[in-house]
Structures are given as C-alpha cells and as structure tokens.
A = this chain, B = another copy of it.
C-alpha cells in the first residue's frame, strides 16, 4: 500500500516513465510537468522503493561495513563517521560484525555475492591468505581500514602507527629522557608491530641505547601492561619512561607503579597510544596519541563511493591518516 509512481502517473495524467524522469531530475522533462509530478508526489507522500530501484539498476546504494570480532570503543565513532559520509552521498550503511557465528570470510562472501551492498569497508586488524582470497573473489568494490598498509594490492586507509610512534620517541628525547622502555602489543597485530618498529628506529636514530630487558611484551590488555611494568621496575637499571603500545597497557603501568608507592611522572614517566576516553581522565592524565577515527571513516567512505561511482581513479590508493600527539601530565 505504499505510494508508487503508478499512482502519481495516474493522478498527473502522464506515463510512469515521465514520473520516473521527473523524480530523478536528470532527464529532459518539461518544467511544468516536473513541477506537477513533484507536487503530487509530495502531496501523496511518495517515497521511492529503494529495493526496487537498486534491483533494477543492478547495483545497491548500500555500503557494507564489516567489523572484526572485537568490541572497541572507537568503533561507534567510525561507524558514525562512515554513516555520515555515506548519507551525504546518498548511500546507506549496513553493518556486519564478525564473530563466532559468522566468520570474516563469510561476511566478505556475503558482501561480494548477495548483491545486497554496492561496496564495502572492512575494518581489519590483520590479514591472511584466506581473507585475501575472499577479497579477490568478487567484483564488488571495497576499501580496507587497517593498521598496516602493506597488506597487498588493496585500497586501504591506515593510521600512521609507525610515524606516530617515531614522533613519540622524538618528543621524549627532546624532553630529555634517555632510558626509554617499550611495552609492545600482540606479535600478530599490525598496529603493534609498526609501533614497535617506529619506536626502535627512532631510538636508533637518536642514539638511544635500548636494553633488551627494556623491550617488554604485552598483549594490549591492562593486566599485561601491569605485569610488564612490574618486571621493568624490578630491573636493576630502571627506565625513566615507559612507552606502552596502547593506552590500556599504559594504564596497567599506572597500577603497577602506584601499587609500590611511586609517582608518575616524577619517579617514572608513562606514555601510551590510542587516546581512549579514560586516558584524559586518568591520574595523571596520560600523554598519548590520538587516532583521528572521524577522518579515517570519512576518507574510507569517500574513497569507496568514488570507486562505486566508477569514477576516474582506478589505481590502488593507500591513505595514511595522521594521528596527533596529545601531551598531558604523565611525562
């Protein structure tokens, strides 16, 4: 019982083709017929059947968004950012979380083959050959959002993990720190390894001697940060600052440090990476790196829409979104 162009056509005494043209606006329709059709459409509260439109056009104006198997505080920001951008360009956003019941490849296959989306964005913490294969199996355009752009011949939007970690070290060096420790993230995580690499290369550039025992291992959890920090504090030569590969581990360091009565940043300084909500309010507030999630979503969506429109640029594009050093009181 929703209004269709047929009813408009009848009421306006024109053919459905004219109605369609008047509504889509781009074809040649006489000004007054167009006005009439628009008026009647409005009057009847007509809304185009999007499913029918997508179906007949053979392409969908729905953008798929594949989320990985983890809950992350910044996902809702990315989702919102992508949805905003999509909306402004006349697209809708469909989410698809991967989890125990639905694997990532299954999600990709649905995106590729069901026709339900015209393109998709994949939030992907790591890549493997199975995923690559799935991504190469179809012709639906997509863009990746990842921590690493070295993941094959795909369009990808990344954070500048390496650069930011590098700059963090530079900042610490300028501040006068000499003994810098690092707590790294999971070894199979791209963000983690790039941050570590940035750390190491910066240290090497600025002639900071990194003791092996100062390269602690964590897994991005607060607990692992706490544990790693305790270990560092037990070294006979203690670092004077710890650069954790993410904020959660940095806050774990807070715990370890406070528990033995030391003070940040007086006794030891801490820095993190991510600028999660809590970091601003921690005591002391945490110096860290803010990822521009808003921009990441926007850039990814814009690039995807470009591809969906079949516009010019066919070459693979790697876009790195700059993060920002957020200087607070922890160092």
Contacts and interface: CB of A to CB of B under 8 A. Distances in A.
Interface of A: 1-2, 45, 47-52, 54-55, 60, 62, 67, 71-73, 75-77, 79-80, 83-84, 87-88, 92-97, 99, 101-102, 109-110, 113-116, 139, 222, 251, 255, 258, 276-278, 281-283
B97 A95 contact: no
A1 B67 CA distance: 27
26 contacts: A2-B115, A45-B113, A47-B109, A47-B110, A50-B114, A51-B54, A51-B55, A52-B55, A55-B55, A62-B94, A73-B73, A75-B76, A75-B79, A76-B79, A80-B99, A83-B95, A84-B99, A87-B101, A87-B102, A92-B94, A92-B96, A93-B95, A93-B96, A255-B281, A258-B283, A276-B277
A255 B280 CA distance: 12
Nearest to A112: B47
Q: 4 nearest interchain CB pairs?
A: A47-B113, A278-B278, A75-B76, A76-B76
Nearest to A252: B281
Given A47-B109, A62-B94, 12 more contacts: A1-B139, A45-B113, A49-B55, A51-B116, A73-B73, A73-B76, A76-B76, A80-B99, A84-B97, A92-B96, A93-B96, A277-B278
